[in-house]
Amino acid sequence: MRLVLLILCFSFATIVAPAQDDRKDPRLERLFERLNATDVKAEASEITSEIWSIWIKSGDDISDELIRLGILAMQAGRLDIALDHFDQLVKHEPRFAEGWNKRATVLYTMGRIKASIDDIQKVLALEPWHFGALAGLGMCYEVLGNDAAAAKAYELALTANPHLYRIRKRLESLREQIRRNNI
């Protein structure tokens, strides 16, 4: 299944040359297996939280501090400051997928959609199962009016994490919209 998702991710979008993150956490594969096997909402939520807790830690004190400061700035609505922290983060540790993901989120919020997509592609080169980045990619394509690409990104997000209920609803809505447009 992981191979199928990798193939889909790389055939879906033009992604920068894949970077190899030598700090891949060996727990992730098992967590994704459990996530895809469960039908229990509470268990899925717990597993999803475990995955995020792995993704958010870089293993480097400077990176962890920059991401913490960037998140605090985002929460305070200081997107310019958040962007500065995430810029520093991706320069300091370019193989830390969550640094790119957080910067992509800020860029999206600032309306810089194409720059957000560029960062999401870097996330996916490092972590193809990053369902948050895949969902964000769908949101970007929706803003750009590319419903087919948005639907594909949402499908990939749901392949990685079938418990993204809002994304499932958004995908259903997009499919209906695409169907109506094709009539």
pLDDT by residue (tens digit) across 129-181? 999 999 999 999 999 999 999 999 999 999 999 999 999 999 999 999 889 88
- CA–CA separation, 158 vs 82, rounded Å? 28
pTM equals 0.85
Domain membership flag for residue 142: yes
R_g of the chain, CA atoms, integer Å? 16
Question: C-alpha angle with apex 27: 26 to 30, nearest 5 degrees?
Answer: 110
- CA–CA separation, 51 vs 32, rounded Å? 8
Domain membership flag for residue 44: yes
- Tell me which residue range forms the domain holding 46: 40-112
Q: Last residue of a domain, which of 84, 112, 140?
A: 112
Domain membership flag for residue 14: no
Closest Cα partner for 85 from 70, 65, 102, 107? 70
Widest CA span in the chain: 55
Q: What is the pLDDT of residues 58-93, one digit of tens each?
A: 989 999 999 999 999 999 999 999 999 999 999 999
Task: For the chain, give the mean pLDDT.
Answer: 89
